[in-house]
Amino acid sequence: MSGPLLLPIPFAANSVSLGQLLCDPLDPSTHSTPSVPTPNEQPQRQANYKEIIAIDDQGRFVSTLASRSPSPLESLLAVTADHVEHITLPCPSTHFDSIRQDASAAGFLRRMALQKQPLYYVVGLQRLRNSTFRRAAANEGRITSATPVDPKIRLPLHLRRDSAMDLDEASNDIITGISMRKVKCNIGPPEEPHSLDDVDYVWSYESLEDDLQLSIGLGKALEQAELHALADIIPGEDFSDASYDGYYDISDDEGLGGF
């Protein structure tokens, strides 16, 4: 499986778990299943994490600069953390079968089928421990330096501690990356044919009352372009500092992550 998708707006570290089904991959506070117990996998850790992230005019994370040179017109953040953790489900398909057999999850799947609600199955997470974010600048294709210790940037709106993301008061731990597989649920007669869009899904079936059938399909991984489309992030938007000025409040007050 490819690496985790970069979330446009990070999640609080305790807001989503492996094995959950999300209605909205951009907001785990919306309807989702409780996490069915998963294998006790140990996360892979890397100490002294550093990354440069390009952001748009709303402060949303758009891409990392790991595989390309920065443009002098881009708005950039320098990200550091004590360490980064990657954790994944070792056998997503097997675990998904246990979700289908869980009583509370099964009821949730039926409701989502009636609402024709697409779902997203969380199979991987990237967490930053004790993270900080500062403005950075590009000069002749290279990152010259992050903004000095002061002034510091404030938190983007959805990362504020008084927001619905519910960041722990004492924690600077966040989820910046996520891996998800697409899930479809349909209710109809057993003889009802699948659509062409259903070809990429692996289907299971459950008989219901009134000669109906619940069809549950586990699909391919959600891609970064699809996540951007859900967030209304348009490829080629102007992510320059000129378009971005004014979104962050640059001051000597508390910065992102409480620094």
72 φ/ψ angles, rounded to the nearest 5 degrees: -65, -15
Largest CA distance in the chain: 68
Tally Cβ neighbours within 10 Å of residue 147: 16
Question: Which range, 5-19, 52-66, 165-179, 216-230, is most confident?
Answer: 216-230
Amino acid at 6: L
Instruction: Find where tokens 């903004």 sit.
Output: 147
Task: Give the pLDDT confidence of 80-103 residue by residue, as tens digits.
Answer: 999 999 999 989 999 999 888 888
Task: Give the pLDDT confidence of 172-215 residue by residue, as tens digits.
Answer: 899 999 999 999 999 999 998 888 989 999 999 999 999 999 99
d(Cα 138, Cα 147) in Å, to the nearest integer?
11
d(Cα 121, Cα 33) in Å, to the nearest integer?
10
3-state secondary structure of 38: coil
